[in-house]
């Protein structure tokens, strides 16, 4: 149930506190998620699933990326960037 609760949270984008009670305590879900993310559990799970599916011939590893499908915003090219993502520099007055 813990894994199902984590998947529910990630799929919905909800806050941890909004995970339905049927999955258990949200604190438990969050703690397990953090622990598993830090110790590499999710990476090991993914590698194992990929190995099983690859052995069964269920994965097509051919990937093609065409730059014409990756679009940039019209304002993304050129221009000097302002620090902190602000449009204009901030003037500090009075020590603030």
Instruction: Kindly give the confidence (pLDDT) of every residue in the chain, 96 residues in length, as a single tens digit, with 9 standing for 90 and above.
Output: 999 999 999 999 999 999 999 999 999 999 999 999 999 999 999 999 999 999 999 988 888 777 666 666 766 666 566 555 555 555 555 554
Distances (CA, A) of 52 to 57, 59, 62: 9, 10, 17
Provide the token pair at 1: 């149930």
Contact 42, 33 (CB under 8 A): no
**pLDDT given for residue 96 in this prediction:** 47
What gap in Å lies between CA 11 and CA 47, rounded to an integer?
A: 21
**pLDDT given for residue 20 in this prediction:** 96
**What 8-state DSSP symbol labels residue 74?**
T
What gap in Å lies between CA 18 and CA 5, rounded to an integer?
A: 10
**pLDDT given for residue 26 in this prediction:** 96
What gap in Å lies between CA 55 and CA 72, rounded to an integer?
A: 38
Residue 10 DSSP SS3: helix
């Amino acid at each position: 149930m813990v894994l199902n609760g984590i998947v529910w949270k990630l799929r919905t984008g909800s806050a941890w506190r909004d995970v339905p009670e049927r999955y258990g305590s949200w604190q438990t879900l969050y703690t397990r998620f953090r622990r598993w993310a830090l110790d590499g559990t999710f990476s090991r799970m993914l590698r194992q699933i990929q190995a099983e599916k690859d052995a069964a011939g269920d994965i097509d590893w051919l990937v093609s990326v065409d730059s014409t499908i990756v679009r940039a915003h019209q304002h993304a090219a050129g221009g000097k960037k302002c620090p902190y993502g602000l449009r204009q520099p901030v003037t500090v007055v009075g020590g603030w």
